[in-house]
Amino acid sequence: MSKPEILTVPDVIYSTREGRALLADIYVPQDGVRQKPAIIWVHGGGWRFGDRKLSPHLARYYAERGFVMVSVDYRLSKQAVFPAALEDIKTAVRWLKSVAERYAVDPARIGLWGGSAGGHLAALCATSGPGSFEGPAEDGVRGFDSCVAAVVDCYGPTDFLQIDAHRDPEGKPSEDVESIQLPKGVLSAQADSLESAFVGAPIETVPEIVQAANPIAHIRRESVLPPFLIVHGRCDTAVPVHQSVILFEALKNVGNDATLLLVEGLGHSFTNRKSLDQRSFAYEQRDQSGTRRLQGQIFETIGNWFIDKLIMIEESE
């Protein structure tokens, strides 16, 4: 099957906050399908730096497989503290639903995917549920909720107060464009940490705010949550693997559809590597059926999971 042409629509304003335009880049496959699944990409950067360009090759990896890809900016911690970034991601979901027909999107099949801080925001958007942290009401998104149909969290923090206890003091940071900007030797509990900047105070001094910012804190047995794929490199020294393990366990314990991939040989920020699809990695997969040892290309594996949750489910109905 030939690959579809991809229409790229850059610099779309999806919201405005304090006079600042929040932008999105959109990649639409020209395949004749009127209602396509969509994936919103949320970039990393410790909530302090980065923008929508900090991403995998969204057109090549995913738009060519039939997904409308939307990469969004959000307010960084130096612009506004929590819950500003979360409000922006929820607004992006609601906005995409409001313009779904324009971009050939099926509003019932929107997924969220993020790496590092973006993975945290994607997970938190889902676990906190609709109706909270929605931000100021905007006419264009009234009547649309922030629910999503699937979430991929790549190495995102999930419980800020447990990070330091599981850090590897001997670990060497990755040398990618994102990781080299992360502060070296700074503990999460310190006043100048990325986590403290995100919530607006040293994390140990504002436990209620930190609790609200932790994705796992919102998971309840009565929660109605989308399926989760959680991916983490075993060599990650920026965000301990334990952060993904506890999110997986929390979701599994309430009966939610959750899969955890622990990848050998990968450190932090691997989603920013444009050539990751050219290598195969060994990984451990945990889900409700147990634990397996597998081998595969990580971007392809993520794409296949999204196909299963956003495309195959539609065809089976």
pLDDT in tens, 55-84: 988 888 899 999 999 999 999 999 999 999
> Percent of the chain beyond pLDDT 70?
92
- The b-or-e profile of 201-232 (16+ CB within 10 A means b, else e) is ebbeebeebbebbbbbbbbeeeeebbbbbbbb
Q: How many residues does the chain have?
A: 317
- pLDDT score at 137: 74
Alpha-carbon distance of 161 to 203, in angstroms, equals 7
- pLDDT score at 180: 66
Angle at 202 between CA 50 and CA 151, to 5 degrees: 45
What would the pLDDT profile of 99-128 be if each residue is shown by its tens digit? Answer: 999 999 999 999 999 999 999 999 999 999
- pLDDT score at 99: 97
Alpha-carbon distance of 133 to 301, in angstroms, equals 31
What would the pLDDT profile of 220-239 be if each residue is shown by its tens digit? Answer: 999 899 999 999 999 999 99
The end-to-end CA distance of the chain, in Å, is 24
| Contact indicator for 73, 22 with CB cutoff of 8 Å | yes
| Contact indicator for 41, 50 with CB cutoff of 8 Å | no
- pLDDT score at 249: 98
Give 38's Cβ-side CA count (13 Å radius).
30
**Using alpha carbons only, how large is the chain's radius of gyration in Å?**
18
pTM, full prediction: 0.95
- Which portions of the chain are predicted below pLDDT 50? 316
Partners of 274 in beta bridges: none
- pLDDT score at 165: 96
Those residues with Cβ within 8 angstroms of residue 267's Cβ, 6 or more apart along the chain or in another chain? 173, 174, 179, 233, 235, 236, 237, 238
Write the class of the CATH domain 5-316.
Answer: alpha beta
Those residues with Cβ within 8 angstroms of residue 276's Cβ, 6 or more apart along the chain or in another chain? 56, 270, 297, 298, 299
For 52, counting Cβ atoms within 10 Å of its Cβ (0-12 exposed, 13-18 middle, 19+ buried), the class is: buried
Number of Cβ within a 10 Å radius of residue 138: 16
* Strand pairing category for 290-296 and 5-17: unpaired
Domain boundaries, the chain: 5-316
